Amino acid sequence: MILSFKPVAKIAISAVATSLAITFPTIASAISLADYNLVVFEDLTSNSEVEGNAFIGGNLLGSSSNYCIKCFSGGSFDPFDGVGLKVVGDIEGNPKQVNNGADLEYGGNLNSIVNTNGGGSKSQNSDLANEFNELKNFLTDTSENLSGLTANSDVVTPGQQPGAVRFNSSGDEIAIFNVDAADLFSNKTQQIELNLNGSGTAIINVSGTSVNWNQGNMVGGLVGDSVQQNVLWNFYEAETLNFGNAFHGSLLAPLAHLTNNTEVEGNVVVKSFNQRGEVHLPVFNGTLPEALSEGRRRVPEPSTLLGLTSVFGLGFLFKRKH
C-alpha cells in the first residue's frame, strides 16, 4: 500500500531497507519532509517571506521578514503543532512577523520586534535544540539514502546546441532520476521539463558541489502545485546553491549555503540561507521509498505521556492548533 506524506499526524513504523523493485513500498514517518516549509540548519539571513512555517537551527538575522503567510485561515496549510516560526538561536535585526495566529518559539535571545498577528503567542523554549537535532538528523539521513537509489528514469541533456533538459519518467509510481549539476545547469540549458508519464512522485538526485541556476526556466510539468508538490530535488553533494531564476519543487540540500533572488516553490532544507526571494508552498506531498531512515521524535517525559495517544506502540498523534 502506498502512503503519502502529508502535514498531519504521522505513525512511526519500523522498516527494513530493501532493494528497490518496480513497485516501491513506502512508509509514514513520525518526522517528515511535510512538517516545515523551510528548515535551515544554521543561520537564516532574510528580507523576504515564507508562506508556511520555518525552523531555524541557528540565528534569524536580516531586515524585516514574514512567516506563515498562508497558514490556517490565511491559506491551506496548518503547521502540525501550531508554531509558525521556531528559532534555536537569537532573533536579530529589523521587525519580523508571524501571521494568521501561528506561534513563535525561540531558544536564545529575542533582540528584535516580532509581531504575532492574529493572536499567536511568543515563548522561549529551552528544548528547541534537541527537537531540531532530531529533525536535522532525519533530513540528513534522508538525503544520503535517497542519493543511493538506482535511477529508473531518463534525463536528456542538450548536446552541442542549446536546448531543453528533459526528465522522462518510466511511469513507475516513484520516478528516480540521477543527474550531474554540470549537465543540468550548463549554459546550454534553455529550459527544464518534467514528463511524469503517470508516476506519482519524482525524486531527482543531483550530484556536484556547486550549482548556479541563472538562465533558462522550469516549464511544463514542473509548474503548478499539482505536480511540484510531488517533486523532490536532492542536492546531496552541494555546498553552494545560487538561484537567480524561479525554482520549482522541494529542495533538499543539507550541506549547502543557498542564495536566492526569486521564489522557490516548495520545501527548502539547507545548511544556511541568504534569502532574497520568497519560499512558497506547497510542502512535499509525494511518497518516499522504504529504503529510508526512520524519522523518530524523542520519547517525552513521563508527565507528558498521558497527553499522547500510542499507535501500535510506535507512533504518536500530535495535537493540532485550531
Residue 19's pLDDT is 37
Q: Which stretches of the chain score pLDDT less than 50? A: 1-29, 293-294, 296-322
Contact residues for 313 (Cβ-Cβ < 8 A; gap 6+): none
pLDDT in tens, 29-83: 478 999 999 999 999 999 999 999 999 999 999 999 999 999 998 888 999 999 9
Q: Is residue 231 part of a domain?
A: yes
Q: How many domains does the chain have?
A: 1
- Report residue 93 as a C-alpha cell: 535585526
Residue 70 in domain: no
197: left (phi over 0), alpha (psi -120 to 50) or beta: left
pTM of the model: 0.83
Per-residue model confidence (pLDDT) at position 128: 98
What confidence score (pLDDT) does residue 224 get?
A: 86
320 domain-assigned:
no
Q: What pLDDT is recorded for position 289?
A: 87
d(CA 286, CA 79): 18
Position 292 scores a pLDDT of: 60
- Residue 25 and residue 31: Cα distance in Å, rounded? 18
Domain that holds residue 258: 170-266
Look at residue 165 in the predicted model and tell me its pLDDT. Answer: 93
**Domain for residue 241, yes or no?**
yes
In a domain, 303, yes or no: no
Any domain includes 226 = yes
Residue 258 is assigned to a structural domain of this protein: yes
DSSP reduced 3-state for 149: coil
